[in-house]
Structure 1
Amino acid sequence: MQRASEELRADVVARGAAFARTEIAPRAAEFDRTGILSREVVQQMADAGFLGASIPVKWGGQGLDALEYGELTESIGKACASTRALLTVHTSLVGETLVDRASNRLKEKYLPDLATGRKIGCFALSEEGAGSDAASITTTYRKQGDVFVLNGRKKWISFAGIADLFLVMATDNGTNSAFLVERDMAGVEIQPMSGFLGNRATHIAEISFTEVEVPAENLVSAIGVGFSFVTNTALFHGRYSIAWAGVAIAQAALEVMCTYATGREQFGVKIGAHQLVQKMVADAVTQVGAARELCRRAGRLRMERSPDAVMETHVAKYFSSTIAQQVTSDAVQILGGNGCWDRYPAERLFREAKILEIIEGTSQLQQLMIADYGYKKFAGNEPGWER
């Protein structure tokens, strides 16, 4: 992948951390409460180059490598889960997938606008009856002359409320394919959704397609490879971003619990002096560090284009989302009544952590894939073992 100089890439990461600390973190509770990630912040993210962080310089991006992008994702995610989700959806699920799977013609047409944030992209896979079982989608396409005609409905699509471009998965009697659909194409309708546990400011919406005519050139890759080729690529990129999101939320919760435990007094002493509180803090320190190293391992393997990168990304996503749930739960416990109050960040972090165990493949689905990998790699390897 073409990249900018190491100095320029480091500057992007450093600016991201500063932006997260000064511009995003102070407004995270507001975004959660109002359910709106402001257009102002989206534009600031675009102007700073963050929305093209991992897209090659050739296409207008910053060319960050996997580890640099992970560090940026952690910084943004620690400040606000909804803002980080914009990176996951727009940059990873859409942008990186087009880099890997789109034709040069589609790259030239869309990547410069995506990399600079002139257009916002979203990933339209999930439906009412198709979540983890992504291959069971019912949104259809048919070839009609020099266009494909799409019909169906997508649900729970993050940033569909403001997106200009949708990466859509559809089927033709079981032959699944992927298409780039523009918001202003006739027959596209958007219905905003609300009332979610977390990711409240990610402009989640339903998308309906009624006889939407999509130019044939907007087919991504080829007919019939929408799930095996395009969707799996997108989920690979998305899961890597979500793995870092787990580290981000857990790190934020760790900082909250340590700050509170060293300031709050009960029974005449700081609560951090109590051994059971110390155990929760010690476990959190250990778990966050371990999750971050798993993410780094997955990132290094991605950079090496190792065949193990996919499974190590599953491992990192599973572990980081699991420990995020545990650490945020312990943060709520340490803060007690204040942990259940939205004037403190612990309750928001707790809600956001739960989302990570569901999106981009549930924890249970990750367990199945990791276990299958374990059987294939490790069964019968012990010397002298008789099968």
Structure 2
Amino acid sequence: MSLNPFDLYDVASLLTEEERAVQESVARFTNERVLPIIGDCFDQGQFPKELISEVAEMGLLGATLPEQYGGSNLGYVSYGLICQELERGDSGLRSFVSVQSSLCMYPIYAYGSEEQRMRWLPDMAAGKVIGCFGLTESHGGSDPASMKTRATKDGDAWVINGSKMWITNAPMADIAIVWAHTEDGIQGFVIEKGTPGFTVQEIKKKMSLRASATGALFFDNVRVPDANRLPNVKGLKGPLGCLTQARYGITWGPIGAAQACLEEVLAYTKERILFGRPVAATQSAQIKMADMARRITASQLLSLQLGRLKEAGKMEPTQVSLAKWNNCRMAIDIARECRDLLGGAGITTEHAAIRHALNLESVITYEGTETVHQLVVGRELTGINAF
């Protein structure tokens, strides 16, 4: 009995019935609705907004949140599988869901008031309100404590000045979760589109995540009522807690991208005839594809165990760093190797490998670069902070 080339260790058998149903549902959506259009979206530099309502109807936005807030109350392994199958389509679509769910809905749920939860979360789960997450600034992406954005209390409101850079969903967002220094530490604010002094500039000329909307946020004496301040967290633990949520999903996403590349190159090398035989019949090609399967399998098991730890309340940030580092490196290396096996044809977006390779340049960078995560693990091993 032959093994599934994309699941050599039968990870599917370790999933619950609900988890398998979630994966199969999102896989069908990716096959039927994402893959037919995503190449053109990448070419045109456009996010497929027409998919938002379908993603929402499937319960993929805020999937782990309680149903009273519009969520699906799914476990974290199910959420990881959602990320995996969406990124099998494109990192841009998975990024949209990650930002909406982990970076925008999660902080409102975890750090917001009950009034804020009821005001924003149901509409966000329904895809009626889109969010973006404003933490990174142009001068110090890996050092969020150095942010220059400031919020000053003025009566029953706050006046915010500063800017944020590389913000996913920004050009189409209705609200922004913005982190700023205050006299009482770093705090989060919900800033609504159209607030005077709040402007968004779309970032163009990207060669990565082209099917994702990216922008910069600018705040010029933006006045925000105290009712829009997230009251239940202060300090860097607020935004870093959100990033841990998102990074967890990111450990799963690149698995899907790598599987898509391997699936494509397996089919191509069986059909491509060179020197009288299929490329897949050569030792060099088989060794490369075997190595891809090895690395995908290791990443699958890594993320699954991470998910089980998270569901048990035992997951540590260092474990997330290890998985994010390993799985992003795995996927980008596989995408590049698949591009090579496709030969000249691999440089066109008619094939997925070059698109995934370019997208993964962003995925391996955002929410902690590879080097940052290596140093997080190094600090855990030695007890010495080398940042």
TM-score of the two chains, using structure 1 as the length reference: 0.91
Q: In the alignment, is the contact (CA less than 8 A) between 2:112 and 2:232 conserved in 1? A: no
Picking from 236, 250, 266, the partner of 1:242 is 250
Picking from 333, 337, 349, the partner of 2:340 is 333
In structure 2, the partner of 1:344 is 351
Picking from 156, 164, 175, the partner of 1:154 is 164
In structure 2, the partner of 1:266 is 274
More relative contact order in 1 or in 2 (CA 8 Å, sep 6+)? 2
Once the two structures are superposed, the pairs formed by residues 1-387 of structure 1 within 5 Å of their partners are 11-172=21-182, 175-222=185-232, 225-228=234-237, 230-306=238-314, 308-376=315-383
Deviation per CA, 1:239-271: give whole Å up to 9, x if none: 111111211111111111211111111111111
Return the offset for 1:12. Answer: 4.5
In structure 1, the partner of 2:7 is none
Return the offset for 1:175. Answer: 2.7
Give the Cα–Cα distance (whole angstroms) in 2 for the partners of residues 24 and 12 of structure 1. Answer: 17
Give the Cα–Cα distance (whole angstroms) in 2 for the partners of residues 220 and 313 of structure 1. Answer: 25
Q: In the alignment, is the contact (CA less than 8 A) between 1:55 and 1:115 conserved in 2? A: no
Return the offset for 1:7. Answer: 7.2
Return the offset for 1:376. Answer: 4.4
SS of corresponding position for 1:142: strand
User: Does 213-222 or 347-356 show the bigger shift?
Assistant: 213-222
Q: In the alignment, is the contact (CA less than 8 A) between 1:12 and 1:50 conserved in 2? A: no
Return the offset for 1:25. Answer: 0.9
* Identity value in percent: 28
Give the Cα–Cα distance (whole angstroms) in 2 for the partners of residues 128 and 323 of structure 1. Answer: 28
Give the Cα–Cα distance (whole angstroms) in 1 for the partners of residues 380 and 62 of structure 2. Answer: 33
Give the Cα–Cα distance (whole angstroms) in 2 for the partners of residues 9 and 296 of structure 1. Answer: 11
SS of corresponding position for 2:375: helix
SS of corresponding position for 2:236: helix
Deviation per CA, 1:105-154: give whole Å up to 9, x if none: 22122111111211011111111112011111111110000011111111
Give the Cα–Cα distance (whole angstroms) in 1 for the partners of residues 152 and 42 of structure 2. Answer: 40
Return the offset for 1:320. Answer: 0.4
Q: In the alignment, is the contact (CA less than 8 A) between 1:150 and 1:213 conserved in 2? A: yes
Deviation per CA, 1:11-30: give whole Å up to 9, x if none: 55433221111000111101
Gaps of 5+ in 2: 1-15
Give the Cα–Cα distance (whole angstroms) in 2 for the partners of residues 30 and 347 of structure 1. Answer: 14
Return the letter of the residue paired with 1:64: L
Q: In the alignment, is the contact (CA less than 8 A) between 1:140 and 1:172 conserved in 2? A: yes
Deviation per CA, 1:330-387: give whole Å up to 9, x if none: 101111111122222211111112212101100000000011112249xxxxxxxxxx
Query: RMSD value over aligned CA atoms?
Result: 1.8
Give the Cα–Cα distance (whole angstroms) in 2 for the partners of residues 157 and 36 of structure 1. Answer: 15
Give the Cα–Cα distance (whole angstroms) in 1 for the partners of residues 75 and 120 of structure 2. Answer: 21
Deviation per CA, 1:200-236: give whole Å up to 9, x if none: 122111111111111112222357x2412x1111110
Q: In the alignment, is the contact (CA less than 8 A) between 2:27 and 2:85 conserved in 1? A: yes
Return the letter of the residue paired with 1:242: I
TM-score of the two chains, using structure 2 as the length reference: 0.91
Q: In the alignment, is the contact (CA less than 8 A) between 1:250 and 1:328 conserved in 2? A: yes
SS of corresponding position for 2:171: coil
Give the Cα–Cα distance (whole angstroms) in 1 for the partners of residues 229 and 307 of structure 2. Answer: 29
Give the Cα–Cα distance (whole angstroms) in 2 for the partners of residues 14 and 96 of structure 1. Answer: 25
SS of corresponding position for 1:329: helix
User: Does 295-304 or 104-113 show the bigger shift?
Assistant: 104-113
User: Does 234-243 or 173-182 show the bigger shift?
Assistant: 173-182
Give the Cα–Cα distance (whole angstroms) in 1 for the partners of residues 147 and 141 of structure 2. Answer: 9
In structure 1, the partner of 2:12 is none
Return the letter of the residue paired with 2:327: S
Matched pairs, number: 369
Gaps of 5+ in 1: 1-5, 378-387
Cα distance change, pair 97–302 in 1 and its aligned pair in 2 (3 A): farther
Give the Cα–Cα distance (whole angstroms) in 2 for the partners of residues 160 and 203 of structure 1. Answer: 7
Deviation per CA, 1:261-297: give whole Å up to 9, x if none: 1111111111111111111101100101111111111
Give the Cα–Cα distance (whole angstroms) in 2 for the partners of residues 9 and 277 of structure 1. Answer: 34
Q: In the alignment, is the contact (CA less than 8 A) between 1:97 and 1:237 conserved in 2? A: no
